Chain A
Amino acid sequence: MTIINTSSAVRVEVFVDTVVSQVRRGSRFAGLFARVLANDTRLSAVLDTDGTLDVVQTVLPAGERQFPSLGALVPSARWYEREIHDIFDLEPRDQGVIDPLVFARAPSSERSRSGSGFPTGAAHLELTPLPAHLRGEGVFTISYGPVRSGVFESVEYVVETPGEDIPHLRTRPFYKHRGVESLFSDKSVDDGVLLAERCEGVASVAHAWAFCAAVEEIGAVEITRSAALVRVLHAELERIANHLDSTIRHTEAAGQAVAYARFSLHKERVQRLRAQLCGSRFGRGVVVPGGVAAAPLLNVVQILSAIDSLELGVSSDMRLIMDTPSFVDRLRGTGVLSGALIDEFGALGPLARGSGLMQDVRWRQPYGAYAFLAQHEMESRVEGDALARQRVRIDEIAGSFGLIRECAQLLDQPHDSPESQWAVDVPPSSGSAIARVEAPQGELLSLVEMREGNLMRVKQRSASFHNLALFSSAFPNDILTDFAFIEASFGISIAGVSG
């Protein structure tokens, strides 16, 4: 958790050099964000240096529409630059024509903008077909989406193929852009947390937690131990549900009907347990600024018994599916992401951990109750294929069950005074902070700027956004029928990408 010091901006001319030299010295590039104000525009590059988040800021003069581009030197910055281009109508210098990524819109002359640079009114959406990237005999373009074949979130994958191989793929998540970020402005923190939960609905708890952690950092508030334990309880159930969802999609793609039924039953049980704990199947309303809304609605004995029977079912079905050759063979060697690529991109979550990069905020930069829980990090896998990512998720599910047990037992031994056990008051404060949590998809950043308790700007950077940039690189030796497996192994929610 870091307070952003806005006074330390570097000059525009040295912005790129400053960021690039830090990345070359081993810092991980974690994001690039814009903040448009009446008089100027601020660009913030977030870097992770040995576990500490660091912000390099620069200020563009008012009216300047171009900003210095990192994309040529830091490949993972490209998506962030495209996002800034789509939302704020700013252009990364010397990058040529930019394909829309999160929002496709009409030329700039037709748009009005709010004080904080977001489009206003009903923006007119303009979609132009993409030019083909490849030329050659028999090469053609398939467009998967945005309406998919099944119950999926809307996204379009533009695949150029000579028939089976996938030499080129582009991802177009902008169809379902909702403009969530723009709605945080001028909201109270209590309304802000409701919006945060809806940035990426399948990771509602993680988004609410990251947002609240940033607000609490600004307000210099420490949450109680009990509240911290309840947050972990819900965050780990959310992780189990997401990882099971990835397995369900794998089994569906592999035509494993019974396994599909079994894992979707397990996931349903997890969702019902979450509803029993708080009333919401997605843990909504649990995390609030200053702690959690209420005590869990189940007692420790009930939680432990539910967890025991869940784990028994999940682990024995997991053993069987990983022993089912017709399943494992579809994942082995599929969608290989090399360790070098993962490193270069600073990939996050299970995607990174499947390719040998140990990247887990819970254990590398412990926050909340993770700092004092006895569970510790899993081994990463090195193979880099969909099977390695599946194994990482299986290990994490087991770890999550352990964490939930530990939390439940610790909750049984109250330490805080009862009147402030669940939430402490967050005084209306001013300032900026970044917080991060480990969502099921990976590291989730929340950048919050507040003035006297009112939100000025909030940016939730999901791991889905950062990781999906690697999707086009995940088909080195793969063919069209591997597509569903590779997509499921990414475990991404498009809502978290398109904003």
Chain B
Amino acid sequence: MTWIPRGLRDGIVTSRYPRESDGYGPDFRGSIEVSGQSATKSELADVLLACPTGAISLRDDKATLDRGACILCGRCTQLLPAVFQFSPNFEISTRRRSALVVPVMQESDAAIAAVQIELAARVKSLRRSVHIRHVDAGSDGSDEWEIAALTNPVYDVQRLGIYFTASPRHADVLLVSGLGALGMIGPLQHTYEVMPHPKVVIAAGVDAISGGLLHSSYATIAGISSSVPVDVFVPGSPPSPFGLLHGILMAVNLLAPRRADAARTFTARSVDSPESSDS
């Protein structure tokens, strides 16, 4: 009995994301934004050289950043603060690998729509009951902490009808962390094969997308997309729980437009504990 009041102690700490935006602190480094500001050739050359994963390249003499390779080390933000800035924005998952390169190249609307429509049709039958099977394909261990955090009371993915499952036979979504270690390719593919249709694959984190900082190792295939068909890419090193949640909702087409009406006033919910005394 003693635990029941304890569970009520801090009131509701659960985020209302995605229904409403979440006020996760502005200090949080969710992504790096690239502004259209121009820079000199030597400044750009320096920043290209400084990037440890080669995530930065040039397009028409302007810098672009591949978020699928960016480990958020922040060197570019120090060298060229006019062009590269940290941003708390975590809604950076995409359905196409190419769209991770920012500023995003304008592609034909038809191409974007086609990917979106195909994925939406595939996941239509899942509705609001989504089961996720996680597989670690060679992570550094931090990705698992962030994935496990989705079940804590702050993110509480069960409120959205999202559950983690132990059996691939129950799974709709394959959530893969890690760079594609050679030893995990077989188990990963086997897990994918035994999942029932329809199924969706999410590459969680830059390691899973491109191999990240370790992409040139002898023991990896540098990202999982050559062994399983990836539908949604979630950047981050590791991806934050909100970033993961955004990617999962994108994968199962549950990213409904956010409510704009202020009829129910949104009060910012803080996870910081209120003053409480021992009971």
Contact residues of A with B, CB < 8 Å? 103-104, 118-123, 125, 127, 146-147, 149-154, 174-180, 182-183, 191, 194-195, 198-202, 204, 245, 256, 258-259, 261-262, 264-265, 267-269, 271-272, 275-276, 279-282, 284-285, 297, 306, 309-310, 312-313, 316-317, 319-320, 324, 493-496
Contacts and interface: CB of A to CB of B under 8 A. Distances in A.
B15 to A, nearest CB: 11
Interface string B244-279: 000000000000000000000000000111111011
A258 B3 contact: yes
B221 A122 contact: yes
Given A147-B191, A198-B212, 8 more contacts: A121-B218, A122-B221, A177-B138, A256-B3, A276-B28, A280-B29, A284-B237, A312-B273
A493 B145 CA distance: 11
Contacts of A306: 272
Most buried by B among A202, A281, A297: A281
Contact of B144 (A152, A319, A320): A152
Closest 10 interchain pairs by CB? Answer: A201-B142, A201-B140, A149-B166, A179-B219, A264-B152, A175-B183, A179-B217, A495-B141, A258-B3, A493-B141
Interface string B105-147: 0000000000000000000000000000011111111111111
Contacts of A146: 183-184, 187
Contacts of A147: 135, 168, 187-188, 191
A272 B25 contact: yes
A309 B273 contact: yes
Contacts, number: 207
B273 to A, nearest CB: 5
A279 B28 contact: yes
Contact of A309 (B28, B74, B144, B272): B272
A259 B90 CA distance: 29
Contacts of B76: none
B153 interface: yes
25 contacts: A120-B218, A122-B182, A147-B188, A149-B166, A150-B134, A151-B164, A176-B137, A176-B181, A176-B183, A177-B219, A178-B220, A194-B52, A200-B140, A201-B141, A262-B7, A265-B152, A265-B153, A268-B149, A268-B152, A268-B154, A271-B149, A276-B25, A279-B86, A309-B273, A320-B6
Contacts of B137: 154, 176
B148 interface: yes
B220 A179 contact: yes
Interface of B: 2-4, 6-7, 9-10, 13, 24-25, 27-29, 52, 71-74, 86, 134-149, 151-154, 164, 166-168, 178-179, 181-184, 186-188, 191, 212-214, 216-221, 237-238, 240, 271-276, 278-279
Nearest to A314: B273
Nearest to B156: A261
B264 to A, nearest CB: 24
Contacts of B140: 178, 198-201, 495
A285 B214 contact: no
Contacts of B135: 147, 154
A308 to B, nearest CB: 9
A28 to B, nearest CB: 26
Contact of A258 (B4, B168, B183): B4
B199 to A, nearest CB: 15
Contact of B184 (A154, A180, A268, A496): A154
A285 to B, nearest CB: 6
Contact of B218 (A119, A152, A264): A119
B271 A176 contact: no
A261 B8 CA distance: 11
A204 B74 CA distance: 16
Contact of B181 (A149, A178, A297, A310): A178
A180 B214 contact: yes
A211 to B, nearest CB: 14
Contact of A191 (B9, B52, B274): B52
Nearest to A261: B153
Contacts of B219: 103, 119, 123, 177-179
Contacts of A284: 72-73, 237
Nearest to B138: A176
A309 to B, nearest CB: 5
A191 B73 CA distance: 10
A297 B25 CA distance: 12
Given A258-B6, A261-B153, A320-B2, A153 B139 contact: yes
Given A122-B221, A154-B135, A198-B213, A285 B74 contact: yes
A282 B218 contact: no
A118 to B, nearest CB: 6
A284 B120 CA distance: 36
B139 A175 contact: no
